[in-house]
Amino acid sequence: MDKFIIRGSKKLNGIIPIGGAKNASLALMPATLLASGKYELLNTPNLRDVTTMIKLLSSMGVSFEQKDSTLHVNTFRVNKFEAPYEHVKKMRASIYVLGPLIARYGNAKVSLPGGCAWGPRPVNLHIEALKKLGASIEVERGYINAKAKRLKGAKINFDISSVGATGNTLMAAVLAKGSSKIENAAIEPEITNLVEMLISMGAKINGIGTTILEVEGVDELHPISISTIPDRIEAGTMLIAGAMCGGKITITNCEPKHITSVLLKLKEAGAKIKISGSSVTISAPKIIKSVDVTTEVYPGFPTDMQAQWISLMSVAKGISKITDTVYYDRFSHVPELQRLGANISLSENIATVKGSNKLAGAKVMSTDLRASAALILAGLAAKGETEVLRVYHLDRGYESIEKKLQAAGANITRASAEEF
Ligand code: EPU
């Protein structure tokens, strides 16, 4: 198991390139099940979750070749329609194979994802929507067993906006017979990237980028080449590193309009922001101001940036409140940040943070992906040495984070950790 050793309080200055979006790749890759042939997925990040998706799809007969950031996918030999527990338990996004398998092969057996580090994350919306499209679904012995001769178009109105349920339903509806209408669809950029991919494969979808998607099912789709959008959460995380550590950082290869909510909050906190094409430069404020944040679905402030914002507020002047309305229990980073000296109290889904300049290095443990990012940020700002253990969580969603931060002057190294 690897750990990071960080010697904090170093100013960061430099250029950090942003990679492809994890949560877009995890939708685009299973979408290749919808048509036989060879695909090119450009700007695919090299991450543990992408490797897990490669292993899962390979177990179904898909073959892959990765050249730099282009993932070549071949779906000629798909012959198994099952996502076993051993893969799904590692990554909930495995559920994304359900929609394409049932739509194209009429048959899918997908393990239920189970709980996650921050509480229950149900998949009821995915199942209900696929049932509306005519799939017969039984859940038994931990597996979703789905069957359908051919799915039929239907109207689906989600009670809650769900990224995954929107993606799965869309991938099913594009090959259904007749028209479907998906209301209260998620409009996260990763879903829009998926819609773009499906349209270029020959799907008929109206309403791209809006909460109402109208789909006219087609008999067949074809393989394509598509670019994965930049990772807005990696972008936001690096900008917070810039704000917390003094100095000036430019992130490149990003899509500034996807991080508007984060940029506005960083400005409120006193950072200077300059946007130029696909680059954003942040100049750290002398004093970071306290800024409240409430997470919302896109274009609101993302839940995937909540932990990192708490780290930033731990070194701000004053008191801030951070509320997560998407995941009520997503606060496993709080006790670990407290080990670094952060003054945070938690009541239900609201963290109250009293900022100070007293963060001091300690040994802390990653508990999930974004919690790990928050700990690294706090370690970069803290005085002395911080060890972040169990960084395999971080490797799920950030490619070579230590190299990118080193290039901007951070003192962070990866080492192997012995844990008992
Ligand atoms: N929900 C239900 N029933 C469902 C599905 C979702 O009640 O069937 C609820 C969830 O419990 C949650 C809300 O709906 O309260 C939104 O969840 P959503 O379905 O949108 O989340 P997801 O698709 O499982 C994706 C990202 C997450 C990100 C969320 C929210 C991927 C692979 N994952 O998850 O990313 O937090 O959207 O934006 O796209 C991360 O990258 O660290 C991460 C967790």
Task: List helix spans (H) across 8-84.
Answer: 22-31, 48-58
| Residue bearing the CA closest to ligand 1, atom 42 | 304
Q: Is 254 a catalytic residue?
A: no
Instruction: State pLDDT tens for residues 91-134.
Output: 999 999 999 999 999 999 999 987 667 667 789 999 999 999 99
Rounded CA-CA distance 179/266 in Å is 43
Ligand 1 contacts CB of residue 29 (under 6 A): no
When pLDDT is averaged across residues 319-344 and rounded to a whole number, the result is 97
Residue ranges of domains in the chain:
2-19+230-416, 22-227
Is the pLDDT at 191 greater than 90? The verdict is yes
pLDDT attached to residue 121: 79
> Looking at domain 22-227, which CATH architecture does it have?
Alpha-beta prism (3.65)
> If we measure between CA atoms, which residue out of 358, 409, 404 comes closest to residue 252?
404
pLDDT attached to residue 113: 87
Q: Model's pTM, two decimal places?
A: 0.97
* Mutation probe of ligand 1 site: the residue of 53, 160, 232, 333 with most atoms within 8 A of C-beta: 160
Domains 2-19+230-416 and 22-227 share a fold: yes
Distance from the alpha carbon of residue 84 to the mean position of ligand 1, in angstroms: 20
CATH H superfamily, domain 2-19+230-416:
Enolpyruvate transferase domain (3.65.10.10)
Instruction: State pLDDT tens for residues 373-384.
Output: 999 999 999 999
Ligand 1 contacts CB of residue 122 (under 6 A): yes
Residues across the chain: 420
The answer to whether the beta carbons of residues 92 and 119 sit under 8 Å apart is no
